[in-house]
């Protein structure tokens, strides 16, 4: 049994209320895998979607068929763009024109560019499947996707030339190019589907920035350890207040300053929550709502986990799988969103050390979020995402459930072996 699986089983022992959502997620994932289209290009797209993002892929698959195909292709095109940008082995003078012209390549089923690793290399090597799928989309979807990929590619190329994120303005601009445009693109796809009105650009942008800044906070160590060349997305304007160079934040002797810098970055991300809640409250379609709301809740949960957490500079910090499953299972209405943001924000508030140099700003921003959630008048309906202490599962039942999980895992692995043998 893998270390990852053992970790999940241990987490279930500590949080037995995760068991049922985990089982539902496991069954939904298996069901989604059975619904992979038979056409080679669409089969590739949906198989690849589940490989590069299993939980996100599952939520995409719950959208209406036409919109689902458009979002699937859009997501894979963005992953391809990211793969080109992230591959530090590619010479800058080769990378820039690819990013700048990427929006044209999506119309060419004969184009591919081999880069990246693992499943991302497969995506790039067999890019023709994604292009073929793109060409089958409705024209309004194609126009929206082309426009966003063009702007994102140009923005990525611009920041490759800069080589460093210097100011907070640079940071917001970079996040706008690589994620704010994703929010804008999705809003255009929702509008093209006829299911939603066109959302304001400012709130669409904030939806992307909140997710991107969360990822940048969480992935500091992975990015700075990148070989052959490290990547630093935290702006100099922030990290220079706490260290001579960003690598110093990794060292144990600088732990106090590292935590202060981390909290500074998280405090900046919190400013986007008000716009995110406005955006979510305006969604009409239940499937689109779930698709948009789940990543936002996972983001506030991740920021809460990262706040004051030196583990960000020591290894991988992420939400436990059972909590992710619970978020996917329980998020259905705006009341669920308000409840989740209230719970996670309250937890984050309890972690704030008043001696932290950004404590006042952090608390002020959290209080704004808490007030919005209270003023919604829906908190009495909220489900608990983070309080597992009152579990109704007794020790014998917990042990039984864990055995069942282990058997199901072993069975799934056996099926994989049969398929590949």
Q: How far apart are CA 314 and CA 264, in angstroms?
A: 18
pTM above 0.85, yes or no: yes
Q: Which CATH superfamily is domain 1-34+251-410 in?
A: Farnesyl Diphosphate Synthase (1.10.600.10)
Q: How far apart are CA 12 and CA 391, in angstroms?
A: 12
Cα angle 225, 125, 64; round to 5: 95
Question: Which tokens hold the place of 110?
Answer: 């004969």
Question: Which tokens hold the place of 415?
Answer: 């099926």
Q: How many CA atoms lie within 13 A of 210 on its CB side?
A: 28
Question: Which tokens hold the place of 303?
Answer: 């920021």
The reported pLDDT for the residue numbered 417 is 47
Task: Indicate the class that CATH gives domain 36-198.
Answer: mainly alpha
Residue by residue, pLDDT tens for the chain (421 residues) are 445 555 555 665 566 677 777 778 778 777 777 778 889 999 999 999 988 886 677 888 889 889 999 999 999 999 999 999 988 889 989 999 999 999 999 999 999 999 999 999 999 999 999 999 999 999 999 999 999 999 999 999 998 888 789 999 999 999 999 999 999 999 999 999 999 999 999 999 999 999 999 999 999 999 999 887 888 999 999 999 999 999 999 999 999 999 999 999 999 999 999 999 999 999 999 999 999 999 999 999 999 999 999 999 999 899 988 899 899 999 999 999 999 999 999 999 999 999 999 999 999 999 999 999 999 999 987 777 765 444 455 555 555 555 655 665 555 555 554 444 3
CA distances to 148, 188, 299 from 57, rounded to whole Å, are 20, 20, 17
The reported pLDDT for the residue numbered 6 is 53
- Following DSSP, what letter does each residue of 204-241 receive, concatenated? HHHHHHHHHHHHHHHTHHHHHT-SSS----S-HHHHTT
* Helix 92-105 × helix 65-86 angle, to 10°: 170
Tokens 């184009």 belong to 111
* Domain parsing of the chain, residue ranges: 1-34+251-410, 36-198
Question: Which tokens hold the place of 182?
Answer: 């994703």
Nearest to 284 by CA among 186, 185, 181, 191: 191
The reported pLDDT for the residue numbered 418 is 46
Contacts of 306 by beta carbon, 8 Å cutoff, 6+ apart: 217, 218, 262, 266, 312, 317
Do the domains at 1-34+251-410 and 36-198 have one common CATH topology?
yes
Nearest to 123 by CA among 51, 173, 208, 184: 51
Q: How far apart are CA 156 and CA 100, in angstroms?
A: 8
CB 304 within 8 A of CB 297: no
The reported pLDDT for the residue numbered 390 is 45
Please identify every residue annotated as catalytic. Answer: 174, 218, 231, 291
Instruction: Determine what percent of the chain falls in helix, strand and coil, rounding each to the nearest 5.
Output: 75, 0, 25
Q: How far apart are CA 348 and CA 371, in angstroms?
A: 15
Residue 72 DSSP one-character state: H
The reported pLDDT for the residue numbered 393 is 52
């Amino acid at each position: 049994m893998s270390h990852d699986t053992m970790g999940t089983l241990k987490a279930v022992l500590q949080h037995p209320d995760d068991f049922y959502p985990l089982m539902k997620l496991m069954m939904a994932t298996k069901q989604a895998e059975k619904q992979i289209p038979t056409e080679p290009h669409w089969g590739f797209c949906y198989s690849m979607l589940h490989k590069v993002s299993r939980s996100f892929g599952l939520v995409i698959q719950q959208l209406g068929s036409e919109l689902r195909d458009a979002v699937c292709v859009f997501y894979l095109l963005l992953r391809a763009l990211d793969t080109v940008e992230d591959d530090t082995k590619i010479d800058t003078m080769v990378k820039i024109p690819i990013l700048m012209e990427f929006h044209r390549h999506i119309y060419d089923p004969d184009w591919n560019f081999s880069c990246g690793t693992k499943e991302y290399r497969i995506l790039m090597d067999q890019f023709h499947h994604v292009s073929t799928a793109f060409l089958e989309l409705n024209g309004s979807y194609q126009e929206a996707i082309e426009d966003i990929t063009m702007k994102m590619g140009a923005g990525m190329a611009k920041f490759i030339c800069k080589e460093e994120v210097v100011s907070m303005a640079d940071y917001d601009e970079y996040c706008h190019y690589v994620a704010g445009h994703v929010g804008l693109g999705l809003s255009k796809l929702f509008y093209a589907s006829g299911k939603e009105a066109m959302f304001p650009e400012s709130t669409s942008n904030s939806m992307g920035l909140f997710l991107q800044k969360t990822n940048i906070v969480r992935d500091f160590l992975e990015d700075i350890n990148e070989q052959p060349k490290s990547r630093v997305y935290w702006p100099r304007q922030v990290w220079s207040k706490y260290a001579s160079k960003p690598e110093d934040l990794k060292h144990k002797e600088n732990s106090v300053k590292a935590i202060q810098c981390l909290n500074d970055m998280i405090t900046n991300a919190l400013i986007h929550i008000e716009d995110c809640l406005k955006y979510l409250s305006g969604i009409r379609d239940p499937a689109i709502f779930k698709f948009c709301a789940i990543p936002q809740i996972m983001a506030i949960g991740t920021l809460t986990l990262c706040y004051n957490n030196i583990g960000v500079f020591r290894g991988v910090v992420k939400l436990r799988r059972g909590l992710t499953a619970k978020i996917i299972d329980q998020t259905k209405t705006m009341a669920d969103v308000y409840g989740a943001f209230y719970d996670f924000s309250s937890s984050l508030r309890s972690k704030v050390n008043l001696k932290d140099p950004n404590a006042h700003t952090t608390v002020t921003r959290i209080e704004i979020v808490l007030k919005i959630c209270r003023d919604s008048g829906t908190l009495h309906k909220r489900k608990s995402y983070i309080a597992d202490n009152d579990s109704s599962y007794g020790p014998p039942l917990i042990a039984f459930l864990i055995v069942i999980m282990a058997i199901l895992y072993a069975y799934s692995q056996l099926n994989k072996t049969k398929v590949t043998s």
